[in-house]
Amino acid sequence: MDNAPVFAVVGHPNKGKSSVVATLSQNDAIAIALEPGTTRQRQNYPLTVDGQTLYTLVDTPGFQRPRRVLAWLEAHSVSASDRAETVAAFVTQHRDNPRFNDECELLAPLIKGAGIIYVVDGSVPYSAEHEAEMTILRWTGRPSLALINSIGPDDYSDTWQAALGQFFQVVRKFNAVRAPFDQHLGLLRAFGQLEPAWERPLEQATRFLAQQRDQRKRQAAALIARALEDLMSFQEKRTLTLNQVAGTSDENLADGLRRRWYQRQRQREQTLRVSVEHLYQHNRIQRQEAELEWHNEHDLFSEDSRKVWAVNKRYLATAGFGAGAAGGAGIDALTLGHSLGAGALVGGLIGAAGSYFYGDRLALPALNIGALQNGLKTASFGPVQDSQFGYVVLGRAVDHWWHISHRNHAGRDPLDLEPSDSHWLETLDRKSRQDIQRVFERRRKQRAPDDRLRADFIAAIEQAMTIYDDWRLNRM
């Protein structure tokens, strides 16, 4: 983007500057530490969407000697009209002085035209020592915005609000770890009002970011849909020669197939998680650490998972009727309509009944050991025969997506995927229920859905994501 704005994030050491940069640049690779002085040199972090840089955040060191810097500025300034030039002169004269390295690194982007994002910790009391920092920043004459980023449990934000309002054009509370997406866009709009040259590019930036968020949701729905198809249709097979058959009992063969089938299904769910995380540019969540362990160690195949994520019989009956009716409609077509819709009705009743009677348990896949033919014997385990398995996977996937899509890039806490206490799919519309069930039925029979059904399937999952998002936000 032409004339993409640059914002220097400045303030006292260890007050959350890097956290603000990580969130606003969507970059979880930025070092965030509790020790002061983690950032010693300024570093640019552009936010790019579809190859266009919307804006750039500059992470800077914290002020170290603001009172001495201000004393120098006041001694070398003749009038208010030369203050910006005096700041530039300070940087030129002291850039090689190690005593003022941090201040020079901090001020350099400002004298080149960057806007100011001044970050303070609202959980500690305001003190007059910050006034030297704020006075220096005001001397630069750059558009300025102050953020109160409370790190600790105490709250002195009202005092900070009153003090900051005397130095900065806009003052906002902004929790870099928990701030919702709308607050990110609100900051960009606020800066657009401070600098006329930035109004248009920042309007475009907010539009691009909103579009990106919608696009990521659609892409996540497609990833979940593909994973569900794979998980519902997967079959573990093994072919044995005559010698292998003689040395392998059916029981051992079945145990091996079953074990590999379970392992592969768990791995496919893990792959889905990683894909969704990378889609939202969360690249630093380590799989070997505990960040994505399910609450209370809920396994994909545990009884607890079934209780939490499976749907009730009434839901299955409704969805099963629609899926069965669609299959029965083929009978009506073959009879040129002479069945008067009986095919769809019978198919619907069969589908509803089958779904209803399997609604209270998670049935295991079928084991099939074929007869010995041409010196070979083939055995298979799967595919899954119970659509409830699909709903368990769907629930876990949508819940994981929700946590990732609402997770700011400054977040470093473990991600706790705690199961919900009621089922949100109850409010899903009937067509979406039927589209999901229809694909589940086809995949367990190892039949691929056509393009139209797959598109409907993805749309239904996206609708389920919207419902879950509303449900979670209403519980907060």
Tell me the pLDDT tens digit for each residue of 230-245: 999 999 988 877 666 5
Q: How many Å apart are CA 437 and CA 434, to the nearest integer?
A: 5
Question: What is the mean pLDDT of the segment spanning 429-458?
Answer: 91
For 341-351, how does the pLDDT look when each residue is reduced to its tens digit (9 = 90+)?
443 333 333 33
For 399-437, how does the pLDDT look when each residue is reduced to its tens digit (9 = 90+)?
899 989 999 988 767 666 666 555 678 888 889 999 999
Give the single-character DSSP code of 11. E
pLDDT at 122: 92
Report the mean per-residue pLDDT for the chain.
Answer: 82
pLDDT at 457: 96
Question: What is the mean pLDDT of the segment spanning 138-161?
Answer: 93
pLDDT at 363: 61
- DSSP strands (E only) in 322-405: 367-369, 376-381
Distances (CA, A) of 184 to 201, 218, 408: 15, 21, 10
For 366-400, how does the pLDDT look when each residue is reduced to its tens digit (9 = 90+)?
778 777 677 777 888 889 888 888 998 999 899 89
Q: What are the residue boundaries of the structural domains of the chain, listed by start? A: 6-194, 215-312+359-475
- CB-based contacts of 247: which residues, under 8 Å, 6+ apart? none
Q: Is the pLDDT of residue 20 over 50?
A: yes
360 pLDDT band, cuts 50/70/90, is very low
Distances (CA, A) of 120 to 150, 163, 316, 339: 8, 11, 53, 74
41: exposed, middle or buried (Cβ count in 10 Å: 0-12, 13-18, 19+): exposed
Question: What is the mean pLDDT of the segment spanning 57-81?
Answer: 94
Question: What is the mean pLDDT of the segment spanning 313-339?
Answer: 52
* Domain 6-194: homologous superfamily in CATH: P-loop containing nucleotide triphosphate hydrolases (3.40.50.300)
Q: Is the pLDDT of residue 109 over 80?
A: yes
pLDDT at 50: 85
Question: What dihedral angle (degrees, nearest 10) is formed by the CA atoms of 436, 440, 441, 443?
Answer: 130
Q: Is the pLDDT of residue 173 over 70?
A: yes
